[in-house]
Amino acid sequence: IIGSYRVLESIAEGGFGSTYKGEHILTKDPVCIKHCSMVSPAHDAILIQEMKSIWDLRHYAMPVMRDLQRLEDGSLALIMSYIPGFTLEQIVEKAGKIEPETTAWITERILNALLYLHHHGVIHGDIKPQNIIIQPKTHSVVLVDFGLAMVRPGSSDKSIGYTPVFASPEQIDGKALLPASDYYSLGMLMVY
């Protein structure tokens, strides 16, 4: 139990922590819980920045941030909307190469989400197959994991991490992210 939420099952493990499917105890509505098991001001700051990056933003291609809970051990858990579907990585692993028409509609929806994010000063910073959830029946795409996102980065800001194959040159060099950084990563995603 984390605050008003019950953990139901593990979704994924990452370098930063674990992600779980959960539910609100009273309403039984599904949620996603991202738990950073490491307790430090630096790790807290990353999770808080992830929450703040899209806290007031609402778009069909992004999860909704719901809550941030401090656990008894001092760690933080971020509560957000649960997005059903499979990641692009899971789909490619199962089905193999994606047809060009499918790649086109996935890319168009990601471009729409990036336009919205960039208009609000947010650079996602981690466009990769594991962070794209596909909902084929509704032709929907959702960007998840805003852990490397930057809000209105200035020239003195530094990127806090990256995924090598999909990262833009400026991100690899540790420089501030630009909207073009996300577009570079999207191009690499299309090649994938």
Active site residues: 126
Rounded Cα distance, 110 and 51, in Å: 20
> What token pair was written down for 73?
């051990």
CA 192, distance to chain mean position in Å, is: 18
Sole residue written with tokens 């929907």: 140
Question: Closest Cα to residue 15, out of 161, 137, 139?
Answer: 161
> What token pair was written down for 124?
């996602």
Rounded Cα distance, 17 and 154, in Å: 28
Query: What sign results for the dihedral spanned by CA atoms 131, 158, 114, 56?
Result: positive
Asked if residue 34 lies in contact with residue 80, where contact means CB atoms within 8 angstroms, the answer is yes
